[in-house]
Amino acid sequence: ITNLRRGRLVRMGAACTVLLLLIYALHKWSSENIENTDVVLLADSETSYYKSHKDVYPVLKTELGNFEPRDKKIIKGPGEEGKPYHMSQKHANDVAETESKYGMNIAASNDIAMNRSIPDTRLDECKYWHYPEDLAKTSVIIVFHNEGFSVLMRTVHSVINRTPPQFLHEVVLVDDFSDKDDLKENLDNYIKRWNGKVRLVRNVQREGLIRTRSRGAQEATGDVIVFLDAHCEVNVNWLPPLLAPIYRDYRTMTVPVIDGIDYNTFEYRPVYQHGTNYRGIFEWGMLYKENEVPDREAHLHKHKSEPYKSPTHAGGLFAINRRYFLEIGAYDPGLLVWGGENFELSFKIWQCGGSIEWVPCSRVGHVYRAFMPYTFGNLAKNRKGSLITINYKRVIETWFDEEHKEYFYTREPMARFLDMGDISEQVALKERLKCKSFGWFMENVAYDVYDKFPKLPKNVHWGMVKNKATGACLDTMGKAAPAYIGTSSCHGMGNSQLFRLNEAGQLGVGERCVETDGDNVKQAICRLGTVDGPWSYNEERHQLVHRLHGHCLTLQPHSGQLGLAPCDPNNTYQQWTVKQKTPN
């Protein structure tokens, strides 16, 4: 009996426990649900923009998602369906002229319809996501400096045509002091067709794209802002997928996948197919790179079409809550014209509590130009060294820690001597927002950087590498890797003549490595995941020795080419001195 009773008691006890657990779980579930459906308002907000809807995330349904156009008419004409437009030979002059002026074939663009069709490059799955109906009202901000009129206006047309109107609050064009005639009254008049939906503001002096974007954010009145370059075409239903993650958490910045538009034919090409997802990372000299999403992130997602986290972004195209952007200081106003602002914003967002998501279902085409058609004008006057490197220095001095700063200076030795201006405001902001360390960012967000670009060994030598026989210096000759390197008269300006040898034997220039097949010597992309190399410097004999071949770097007297030859202590064509020259 006792045993029986004990058994019954145990069973009753167990049943009670299960019941209690059930009640607890039910309670927890419902209270969590209440929490989730409730709008979470931050203390200092009067508007609705600061709400997080944690439970309302897009769901994949079997019927077509909302806002998808159901029928599409086929129109014939140059560039329609994003097909390449090859102009006939008789326009060769126009083509050459506009390409040299704009870095892209404006003559071709002028023949292509403003509202031409482009291929839907999204994964098929994207057509079936359903988004919340009450997404934020958006201001699309397009800054421009001397862009081709038809390319700029095609950007606007695509936004007007392919954005669900209820989410498009306005398009704000910010003219960064262009001086092209067709961007004056002509532009004022053209945008009248949109009855105030498209606004134009103009800088009274050249500010550069970074400050001009911050101005655009000030001018805009939508809840979310989206930045686009002035030579883009947005694709089908591009906006709702960008808004959804921000709707859930206002501190999320979202980035579309960027397709390519050819600068010569205006062909619209998907950047990648087969559903491979990439994300933005960087090399230690702050060269922007993209890397296949690592497993650690990919495993968090059931569908390839879901947004995923990325350490950084290319810079031009993204969406962000406007008040959040302004609250984190917009862009550092000390950054000049072009470059590095993508990293500044990314590090700031991640380290100060936000996140960046790339959104495969949002596609936007961007014209990759042949070259940069504008100069930095007065903004670059009286500055020693490259503006872009100065920008990088501001960013790394604000956001990196001591360890990682060293890797930057190892790659960019001259940067140590550049005047970056005052960053005390930026450092104060970082304190005020109680931002996390760069180490935290590397460990938790940008961990895949280390796989591709491991921590850098110290340089044992860096500077100009001067040949004893000719007095000329090693030079990349302004070419992009892979390309032969040569020598030219020493200029002491760094850049193409600044070489470095690290303690692991890697000889490099910029983000590139010096390699040889035994005969020729070239600069090449460094082998991913490695920081070592075959080179060593013999200080007594002034020789650069290739350990694998056992030969010395030699300038061939007649051809002027570089090669490897058996080491000979009397051959002055094999003798090199490394000279540091600091700018000032």
- Where along the sequence are the contacts to ligand LR7 (CB under 6 A)? 143-145, 147, 176, 208-209, 212, 229-230, 258, 314-317, 337-339, 341-342, 366, 372, 374
**DSSP 8-state code for residue 456:** P
Write out the residues near Mn ion by the rule CB under 5 A: 229
Q: Quick one: what does residue 280 bind among Mn ion, ligand LR7, none, with the CB cut-off 5 to 8 Å set by partner type?
A: none
Residues 389, 343: Cα–Cα separation, whole Å? 13
Residues 286, 392: Cα–Cα separation, whole Å? 7
Q: Tell me how far CA of residue 486 lies from CA of 34, 407, 517, 526, 572, in angstroms.
A: 69, 27, 15, 18, 16
Q: Which is nearer to ligand LR7, 178 or 571 (CB)?
A: 178
**Cα four-point dihedral sign 289, 294, 298, 300:** negative
Backbone angles phi, psi at 186, to 5 degrees: -50, -45
**552: helix, strand or coil:** strand
Query: Which residues are CB-neighbours of 27 under 8 A, at least 6 positions away?
Result: none
Least distance (Å) from Mn ion to the CB of residue 366?
6
Q: Quick one: what does residue 191 bind among ligand LR7, Mn ion, none, with the CB cut-off 5 to 8 Å set by partner type?
A: none
Q: Which is nearer to Mn ion, 316 or 413 (CB)?
A: 316
Least distance (Å) from Mn ion to the CB of residue 231?
6
Q: Quick one: what does residue 144 bind among ligand LR7, Mn ion, none, with the CB cut-off 5 to 8 Å set by partner type?
A: ligand LR7
The answer to whether 259 and 366 are in contact (CB under 8 A) is yes
Q: Quick one: what does residue 283 bind among Mn ion, ligand LR7, none, with the CB cut-off 5 to 8 Å set by partner type?
A: none
Residue closest to Mn ion (Cβ): 229
Q: Which is nearer to ligand LR7, 99 or 176 (CB)?
A: 176
Q: Quick one: what does residue 315 bind among ligand LR7, Mn ion, none, with the CB cut-off 5 to 8 Å set by partner type?
A: ligand LR7
Q: Quick one: what does residue 230 bind among Mn ion, ligand LR7, none, with the CB cut-off 5 to 8 Å set by partner type?
A: ligand LR7
Residues 201, 217: Cα–Cα separation, whole Å? 12
Least distance (Å) from ligand LR7 to the CB of residue 317?
6
Least distance (Å) from ligand LR7 to the CB of residue 67?
25
Backbone angles phi, psi at 429, to 5 degrees: -60, -40
Least distance (Å) from ligand LR7 to the CB of residue 211?
9
Residue with tokens 């770097």: 553
Q: Which is nearer to ligand LR7, 206 or 500 (CB)?
A: 206
Residues 38, 53: Cα–Cα separation, whole Å? 7
Cis amide linkage into residue 373, ω under 30° from 0: no
Residues 151, 110: Cα–Cα separation, whole Å? 8
Q: Which is nearer to ligand LR7, 231 or 404 (CB)?
A: 231
Q: Which is nearer to ligand LR7, 85 or 144 (CB)?
A: 144
Strands 507-509, 224-228: pairing is unpaired
Backbone angles phi, psi at 489, to 5 degrees: -65, 140
Least distance (Å) from ligand LR7 to the CB of residue 145?
4
Neighbours of 509 (CB within 10 A): 21
Burial (0-12, 13-18, 19+ Cβ within 10 Å), 65: buried
Backbone angles phi, psi at 336, to 5 degrees: -110, 130
Q: Which is nearer to ligand LR7, 225 or 485 (CB)?
A: 225
Least distance (Å) from ligand LR7 to the CB of residue 367?
8
Q: Quick one: what does residue 338 bind among ligand LR7, Mn ion, none, with the CB cut-off 5 to 8 Å set by partner type?
A: ligand LR7
Structure tokens at 189: 């008049």
Least distance (Å) from Mn ion to the CB of residue 232?
8
Residues 310, 291: Cα–Cα separation, whole Å? 10
Q: Which is nearer to ligand LR7, 128 or 325 (CB)?
A: 325
Q: Quick one: what does residue 145 bind among ligand LR7, Mn ion, none, with the CB cut-off 5 to 8 Å set by partner type?
A: ligand LR7
Q: Quick one: what does residue 342 bind among ligand LR7, Mn ion, none, with the CB cut-off 5 to 8 Å set by partner type?
A: ligand LR7
Q: Which is nearer to ligand LR7, 449 or 507 (CB)?
A: 449
